[in-house]
Structure 1
């Protein structure tokens, strides 16, 4: 056993040297192979850039452009405009009102809403300026700038106005309160007794209660000739006028709190103060003002009210002028105005102004250029303005004979009598009647027969109305001041014969004064249709909602007559495609008798039974 072990050790002893050599040989082989692989991967053939062959391009000779210039041509002379810059002191700045901004363009653009053609002008001004007017801004003291309700009272309103006066009439003193984005432009300040809601409605704030508001107007006072005058004014609740930075007249309702507000600022010592009635109280007399020809002075006016009834009347008295006397005594002073009043504005004022309180058509016009046009009417409104009658071409009476063109080329003279079955009956000049087959007539002749035999029609009209109550003290008063009407006209064919031609339907809604004898064209509608089975051979159409005033003043007013307008019937006229009247219905005979004048009469204007334009009936002289 030992021998064999020894032999084994001998063999083991020589093994390491051979194994080591073998490892070295293999390691060298692997290393060489790795170097070859790495060299092959990392070494890339370097590419050399070979430039492209040059391209031969044709060469062109450049020529200098030539421009033909006339030797006689000279540059046009230019005009240099030089202006003198007048540096002014920094004005009082008020941040723009942000309320209503969320409406975007859909909310309308303030100052550019056009007045509907049928509406009478607002007594507080128009949305469009004519240049020589006063720009008005409306403030609601019941809401803050963002439109949120705030606490309010008559005393609070007086204090707000007082701070405004103390600030020098700066709008920034009113910055906390809601200001309407809409502006009005007024040429006069004659607002007879009415509901206080007239102001927010005029400025596009119809949902605002008619109380605790103020309107501020700014403009220029100028006359084309030297003139010395003073204001005569009355207000319910307060009106103050400032010219060239000085208050020249201030009027407040007696014992309202506003009179105490004005006392430290202005007082009238004239013996005629509170002597003559103007509006719903006696008037104050202002300070004398002298204007040099064409030299403007800044003028501002504020009017404000606590609610209920409102009244603002501003007249002028020119020094040295004698005026027509009232029936009850006292002069009739002219209204202050910067433009001749339009006929529509006269209607709007006369509707609620006691006769002879102010002259609207006489007196000075405060502007620095001559009057072009303008309404000139009589001193008394008893004389009506008559519209130019519409021209009606009377047709020459004829025997009805006409020439009929037959399909065979022949012509027949005769008068159409009737259509019986498939034949037409014609009557010749001697009165003899003869039947002709319809197939022998031309298409124009057949149409003439159809139009000469219009269908029988049933005409009617109806209306729906609902009251509108005034807003005051946080909600509706429950007392109607107007009714909203929607008129509907109905036309229905009652005959069975088919009529395949267009019919034109005209509808006229008529109103009448509750307190007078004048009438008003409330609405004019027009619609066309062809009576077919699909529309049940009938037509039904309605107009827009219209509002008719209907009210009476408070118990302190002597006259307790209900005032306003009410429905007084209608006229419906149906014409064929030729314009011939085939049917009509009138609730009063005089309407159709004067249909030609009614066609061209302005909507919402006053008239008598001859459809002649007249002034509305105002309150009686013993109104107060």
Structure 2
């Protein structure tokens, strides 16, 4: 009993000294460090990443490099396809009604390889223009449409899209609701006077919407670049160029171009041209050229106020025995309003051209002494377009100067 007590007392004394020396705190610290080391070992062993797989592709632009690149591309695409299949489980869709609306899930765009859009827009896609074999609407060396839907293409009466003076097509035989109008009920001479009456009526009111709204208008517009239509062109091409061939018979129609232009300089210019049946040019609302088959502009009773807009030009024949007519001189200054109307009365064939002459300029001359003039242009032609123009059979026959001055079109903020 005494030995046990002595031993217990001895142990008690040792514990007392151990505690006094800080042995308790040391034990706790050692235990915590051991526990942290053991936990760290298991954590590191658990989250250690697997060894990365590296694909080595031969370099140097060799055949082996190209083949490896193709194989790599195929692997990436296959991975994307597999991922897409995993992310979009197949679902069966049952439709009980033939008129039911089906909503399909959206594809994740990041997993879809889209084609290069540059390959879709380039290459074989092309616009229209002149063709030595008579592309599109033309025959022989005539102008052709040759344009694909959605792209700017040339027609007989202007370009679909692009720059130029905006032009609209009107039919005198029907209104906006396609109800027939009392037009063309008389003989050809009476119909011609009636046609001229309509043109003078809309011109007197500055081609305002209030008067033009009384006629059928084609939904498609074109932009005037220059006017050069072979005179053996069928009148059906008028409505066709505006997409209205199913709604309009090829007679009693006209095209109205209007816009503000700036001349190449502030000198004096005059228009020269002819069109079967109608061609009149207006500057700031006043007629300055009547190049129609028969005179269209009404006389106001004052001497010389109409005669000076329809002077004989001589030169080559344009259609039949008709040559071009010359208008009065105009001094351009800044932005100027221009209206051009061309059209057809009885149907049959149409054609003609519109040129411009600068006062004091030097031009080459034909054998009869008449100057070889350039076409009136609202758009600068590139080298290819100019080459095509000079190769056009009609342009060769009537002779036009390839150096076309450009009357720049000022676009309105309201269009």
TM range (shorter): 0.5 to 0.7
Give the deviation of 1:367 after TM superposition.
2.1
Q: Which residue of 2 aligns with 1:128?
A: 161
Structure 1's 261 and 365: CA in aligned 2 closer, same or farther, altered over 3 A? closer
Q: Which residue of 2 aligns with 1:262?
A: 298
Larger mean Cα displacement after TM superposition, 133-142 or 160-169: 160-169
Higher Cα Rg, which structure? 1
The correspondence for 2:196, drawn from 122, 141, 158, is 158
Give the deviation of 1:120 after TM superposition.
6.4
Secondary structure, counterpart of 1:302 in structure 2: strand
Give the deviation of 1:189 after TM superposition.
2.0
Structure 1 residue 116 corresponds to structure 2 residue 148: yes
Which structure carries more relative contact order (alpha carbon 8 Å, separation 6+)? Answer: 2
Q: CA RMSD in A?
A: 3.1
Q: Which residue of 2 aligns with 1:320?
A: 360
Give the deviation of 1:262 after TM superposition.
3.5
Give the deviation of 1:171 after TM superposition.
3.1
Kept in 1, the 8 Å contact 2:260–2:409? The answer is no
Structure 2, unpaired ranges of 5+: 1-144, 185-190, 411-415
Q: Which residue of 2 aligns with 1:195?
A: 234
Give the deviation of 1:227 after TM superposition.
2.4
Kept in 1, the 8 Å contact 2:153–2:159? The answer is no
Q: Which residue of 1 aligns with 2:265?
A: 225
| TM-score normalised per structure 2 | 0.54
Structure 1 residue 145 corresponds to structure 2 residue 176: yes
Structure 1 residue 179 corresponds to structure 2 residue 245: no
Kept in 1, the 8 Å contact 2:152–2:159? The answer is no
Bigger strand fraction: 1
Q: Which residue of 2 aligns with 1:282?
A: 323
Structure 1's 156 and 275: CA in aligned 2 closer, same or farther, altered over 3 A? same
Secondary structure, counterpart of 1:126 in structure 2: strand
Aligned 1:379-394 pairs, distance under 5 A: none
Larger mean Cα displacement after TM superposition, 137-146 or 272-281: 272-281
- The one-character-per-residue Cα deviations of 1:160-200 (angstroms, maximum 9, x if unpaired) are 22221232332321322211111111121222312222211
Structure 1, unpaired ranges of 5+: 1-112, 370-624
Structure 1's 186 and 354: CA in aligned 2 closer, same or farther, altered over 3 A? closer
- The one-character-per-residue Cα deviations of 1:561-589 (angstroms, maximum 9, x if unpaired) are xxxxxxxxxxxxxxxxxxxxxxxxxxxxx
Kept in 2, the 8 Å contact 1:120–1:344? The answer is no
Kept in 1, the 8 Å contact 2:310–2:327? The answer is no
| TM-score normalised per structure 1 | 0.37
Structure 1 residue 311 corresponds to structure 2 residue 343: no
Q: Measure the CA separation in 2 of the matches of 1:278 and 1:327.
A: 14
- The one-character-per-residue Cα deviations of 1:203-252 (angstroms, maximum 9, x if unpaired) are 11122322110111011220343322111111211111111222211222
The correspondence for 1:243, drawn from 270, 283, 286, is 283
Secondary structure, counterpart of 1:365 in structure 2: coil
Structure 1's 123 and 324: CA in aligned 2 closer, same or farther, altered over 3 A? same
Kept in 1, the 8 Å contact 2:287–2:309? The answer is no
Secondary structure, counterpart of 2:377 in structure 1: coil
Q: Measure the CA separation in 1 of the matches of 2:391 and 2:251.
A: 24
Structure 1's 230 and 224: CA in aligned 2 closer, same or farther, altered over 3 A? closer
Secondary structure, counterpart of 1:210 in structure 2: coil
Q: Which residue of 1 aligns with 2:403?
A: 362
Structure 1's 211 and 317: CA in aligned 2 closer, same or farther, altered over 3 A? same
Structure 1's 164 and 278: CA in aligned 2 closer, same or farther, altered over 3 A? farther
Give the deviation of 1:352 after TM superposition.
5.0
